[in-house]
Amino acid sequence: MAHHAPARRNLLKTALAGAAATGLAAPQLARAQATVTWRMQALWDGGTTPQKFEEKFVARVAELTGGRFRINLFSAGQIVPAAQAFDAVRGGAFELMKTFDGYEAGKIPAFAFTSTIPFGFAEGDEYEAWFYEKGGLEMARQAYAPAGLHYIAPTVYGQEPLHSKVPIRKMADLAGKKGRFVGLASTVMGAFGVAVAPLPTGEVYSALDKGVIDMADRGDLTANFEAGLAEVAKYVILPGFHQPTTATAYVANRAAHDKLPAEFKAALVLAAREVSSALRQHILVSDATVLAKYQAKGCEIIRFTAADVAAARPKAMGAWRTATKGDALATKILDSQVAFMKELGLLG
């Protein structure tokens, strides 16, 4: 069979010449595929369901880039305290954070509307559609740009319940209570007579336990059960009128993001969008069974009537306007959301 060898050698030579011509010779390939390593701090504690989805996010980014873009994931507060993450990423201490825009809404009014709209969108899909179909993503990026940060994409899911130490059976019962709320919910709940304390997520359990607050918004039903809220607040109030939909956000240091190859930037957006629907569907499934677990721990589930919630909406809408603080971008975002809510038939 020796007479086949020259043919094989020629074939190999031709293949190598072709590779060299297309600039894919081995040494160049190695240089082009340099790895990038980022650090990311999330909003969640290790081992919790939302943190497991951040693990999926970083794994997916690695997978989409052939292992060339690695993100080392840290849980809440592991690199810096949660409240300092914004400035830390901005200053380049690490490249990426998962955040809830509402935390910074006091300084940047637009963020009140890219995190949650109390009494607003009824479903996570509606809110996510605003980001992807109605220009919300571009507006969120515009809001972050002056801070030297790049908004990658949201993770959008449904309602967050209220957990209370005292029975709250209707809107009127909110007045005079102390509650933990952040972002736009702070403004709206303040309008209903609540004394608002904007505590970090990690402090909600102890604040309820010690009676520093009467009630709290924290996370979705399942995440809150995992955090032990059934032990410190015996009333679970639904629907989550104060936070009917929720958007957390992947936000990067802009200079670090600018340096990424286009393929890596695309991987971040793609992985973020996948995680958004995956988490939302996971919550949909787990919420269906978790209420029984609260009841087994001795909690009472209280449901506000649709009429009570609807009657309170005009007051909430007034608070939306207040929260723009006259800022041009915040006003543009709110106007665009209100127009979309009208198209969806959510507002008259």
Give me the CATH number covering residue 80: 3.40.190.170
Specify the range with the lowest mean pLDDT, choosing from 14-23, 100-109, 262-271. 14-23
Whether residues 312 and 335 share a domain: the answer is yes
Whether residues 89 and 212 share a domain: the answer is no
Task: Single out the residue in 285, 314, 335 at which a domain terminates.
Answer: 285
Average pLDDT over residues 214-242: 95
Reply yes or no on whether the pLDDT at 317 is more than 90.
Answer: yes
Reply yes or no on whether the pLDDT at 190 is more than 60.
Answer: yes
- Of 150, 129, 132, 130, which Cα lies nearest the Cα of 141? 150
> Residue 62 falls within a domain, yes or no?
yes
> Residue 290 falls within a domain, yes or no?
no
Whether residues 153 and 257 share a domain: the answer is yes
Structural domain boundaries enclosing 151:
34-159+246-285
Whether residues 95 and 239 share a domain: the answer is no
Average pLDDT over residues 36-45: 96
> Residue 25 falls within a domain, yes or no?
no
Whether residues 186 and 149 share a domain: the answer is no
Express each pLDDT in 53-92 by its tens digit.
999 999 999 999 999 999 999 999 999 998 899 999 999 9
Reply yes or no on whether the pLDDT at 34 is more than 90.
Answer: no
Rg of the Cα atoms in the chain: 24
Whether residues 83 and 220 share a domain: the answer is no
Better-predicted residue by pLDDT, 21 or 284: 284
> Residue 291 falls within a domain, yes or no?
no
Reply yes or no on whether the pLDDT at 23 is more than 50.
Answer: no
Share of the chain above pLDDT 90, in %: 85
* Structural domain count, the chain: 2
Reply yes or no on whether the pLDDT at 6 is more than 90.
Answer: no
Three-state secondary structure string covering the chain: CHHHHHHHHHHHHHHHHHHHHCCCCHHHHHHHCCCEEEEEECCCCCCCHHHHHHHHHHHHHHHHCCCCEEEEEECCCCCCCHHHHHHHHHCCCCCEEEECHHHHCCCCHHHHCCCCCCCCCCCHHHHHHHHHHCCHHHHHHHHHHHHCEEEEEEEEECCCCEEECCCCCCHHHHCCCEEECCCHHHHHHHHCCCEEECCCHHHHHHHHHHCCCCEEECCCHHHHHHCCHHHHCCEEEECCCCCCCEEEEEEEEHHHHHCCCHHHHHHHHHHHHHHHHHHHHHHHHHHHHHHHHHHHCCCEEEECCHHHHHHHHHHHHHHHHHHCCCCHHHHHHHHHHHHHHHHCCCCC
Average pLDDT over residues 278-293: 94
In this prediction, residue 201 carries a pLDDT of 86
Ramachandran class of 241: left when φ > 0, alpha when ψ lies in -120 to 50, beta otherwise: alpha
Express each pLDDT in 117-170 by its tens digit.
999 999 999 999 999 999 999 999 999 999 999 999 999 999 999 999 999 999
Whether residues 237 and 169 share a domain: the answer is yes
Q: How far apart are the C-alpha atoms of 30 and 35, rounded to whole Å?
A: 10
Omega before 239 within 30 of 0, i.e. cis:
yes
Strand order in the sheet with 300-303: 195-197, 178-180, 215-217, 162-164, 235-238, 300-303
Whether residues 114 and 153 share a domain: the answer is yes
Q: What's the pLDDT band for 233 if we cut at 50, 70, 90?
A: very high
- Of 167, 165, 181, which Cα lies nearest the Cα of 214? 165
> Residue 113 falls within a domain, yes or no?
yes
Whether residues 92 and 205 share a domain: the answer is no
In this prediction, residue 209 carries a pLDDT of 97
Going from the C-alpha of 131 to that of each of 120, 155, 177, the distances in angstroms are 14, 11, 34
Whether residues 133 and 267 share a domain: the answer is yes
Whether residues 214 and 137 share a domain: the answer is no
Provide CB contacts within 8 A for 323, sequence distance 6+: 105, 109, 112, 113, 184, 187, 188, 330
Average pLDDT over residues 43-50: 90
Whether residues 133 and 63 share a domain: the answer is yes
> Residue 5 falls within a domain, yes or no?
no
Q: How far apart are the C-alpha atoms of 209 and 159, rounded to whole Å?
A: 23
Q: What's the pLDDT band for 348 if we cut at 50, 70, 90?
A: confident
> Residue 200 falls within a domain, yes or no?
yes
Mean pLDDT score of the chain: 92
In this prediction, residue 232 carries a pLDDT of 98
Reply yes or no on whether the pLDDT at 323 is more than 70.
Answer: yes
In this prediction, residue 41 carries a pLDDT of 98
In this prediction, residue 193 carries a pLDDT of 97
> Residue 76 falls within a domain, yes or no?
yes
